[in-house]
Each structure stands twice: as C-alpha cells, then as structure tokens.
Amino acid sequence: MLMNKYPLVRACWLGSAPYREVWDLQADLVSEVRDGRAPDTLLLLEHPHVFTLGRAASADHLLWDEDERAERDVDVIWSDRGGEATYHGPGQLVGYPILDLAHFELTIPQYLEKLEQSLIDYLAELGVRSEPGGPGLTGVWSKDEKVAAIGIKLNRSVVSHGFALNLTTDMDYFDGIIPCGHAEKRPTSVEALTEHRISTEDAAYEYARHFERVFDAEMAWAPSGARTSTDGAGGVPAI
C-alpha cells in the first residue's frame, strides 16, 4: 500500500464557541493526537468577548475593572498558553492547530515560522502587507501594528492554542488590556487596513488553503456539528 506523503489535517469550523469549552476540547484532542487516536486537527472559530491571560501575564495587564468588564460582557480567563494578555471576540478568526510536530518533522521555531507565514500569505491575498514581529514581538504585524496574535502550548511533541487574526474586530475592546505586554504597541484589523469586511466563516475556509500549503498537509474538512466531545457522535466528528 502506498503511504500518503502529506500529513492529514482534519479541519473543523466551529462557529462562535466559548473559550472554556474550546479549551477543554483542545485538551481532549491533545491527548488523542498524542496517543494516535485522532488525526492532527485545525480548529477554526471565533469566541464571544473574552480577555485571556497567558503564563507570562500579570493582573495589572487588565485595565478595565470588574464593573466595566461586566457592562461590556467580557469574561476573563487565565490560560495555560504562552504569552501575556490578549482579547478574543466577534469578527476575529481564531485558529487552534493541534498537531504532533513529529508528523511534520518540525521544531518549535520552524512551526512558529510556518504559522506566521500562513497568516502572512493569507493577508497578502486580502491586500495586506505584513511581516513577523521584530525581536521580542510575537505575532504578525502590518505598518507597525499587530494584526494577528500568536500564543501556543507544547505537550510533549503536540502543540495547541494558536493564533487570533483581527478581521472586523471591535478594536475598542483592546483598550481593556495591555495587549501582549506592550502598552505602546496597538493592534489593528483587516477592516481598518483595507476597509474590506470579510466574515469569519469565509475567512476560515480561505485561510485553511494557506495553512495546508505552508505545512505541506492534506486538509480534510469535518462536518459542522456540536462541539462537546471528540467521539464523532456530537462533538468534532471523526473522519
């Protein structure tokens, strides 16, 4: 039997999904991918309003008090990803690749470089020139403003968490945090840079093509469905 030379990546569009729910889903998938019970997976979605604080964050990175956050319906979650504070919300494409890097023969620096490149290539398709951050600056930047944040977690050889690309994001919500620990650096969005509005779902399918090419993978889309488990009977369906 001929073996497929390209790693299979199951792609899943989850729509709008709460952060904690998808965090739990990622933990399940990390275990299953690591043990060979699930294929490498790319989750694509958007979150309701939430500030997440990574392992390098501190409480003073939150600028809005509890009353302000409640008025704006913003949750706060301390996450196990790398990085500091960031915002997720409607109009932002979030991508969580759960990949065994051994399947792709990648180191962590190589993985991050490819993840950045997939975003840069997609942004170029949208008419946005962008580049990786300079020394000490993670993510993807355009005109000295961050358009995509990146924060990952490594469990043995399996990565999780990923990126957040601002499409039509309400940038006022970033005023509630010190984004990624850099008070002097402000985020931007595709809409602000191009005056072009694109739906998060359309962006998910268009971005996935660039992910597939940059990672030399074979993409297989899972049917849309509930996302409470990974057993194929009500969660992210098996292929």
pLDDT at 236: 43
Q: Which of 44, 99, 180, 222 is catalytic?
A: 180
220 assigned to some structural domain: no
Question: pLDDT of 73-89, one tens digit each?
Answer: 999 988 877 778 889 99
Query: What is the residue-wise DSSP string for 77-114?
Result: EE-SSSSSEEEE-TTEEEEEEEEEHHHHT--HHHHHHH
143 assigned to some structural domain: yes
What average pLDDT does the structure give for the chain? Answer: 88
118 assigned to some structural domain: yes
Residue 27 host element (H or E): helix 19-34
- pLDDT of 181 above 60: no
Distance CA 227, CA 157 (A): 24
Tell me the chain's radius of gyration from C-alpha atoms.
17
Give the domain extent around 90.
15-213
234 assigned to some structural domain: no
64 assigned to some structural domain: yes
pLDDT at 12: 97
CA-to-CA separations, 146 to 37, 61, 195, 196, 221, in angstroms, rounded: 36, 17, 17, 17, 29
228 assigned to some structural domain: no
Strand ranges (E), 143-227: 145-155, 158-166, 218-221
Give the least confident one: 35-39, 182-186, 199-203: 182-186
164 closest CA partner among 108, 106, 221, 83: 83
pTM of the shown model = 0.88
CATH code: domain of residue 93: 3.30.930.10
* Number of structural domains in the chain: 1
227 assigned to some structural domain: no
Q: Does the annotation count 180 as an active-site position?
A: yes
209 assigned to some structural domain: yes
Tokens of 226: 């509930």
Question: pLDDT of 133-177, one tens digit each?
Answer: 888 788 999 988 999 999 999 999 999 999 999 999 999 999 998
135: helix, coil or strand?
A: coil
Residue 21 host element (H or E): helix 19-34
**For residue 238, what pLDDT band results from cuts at 50, 70 and 90?**
very low
151 closest CA partner among 61, 84, 60: 84
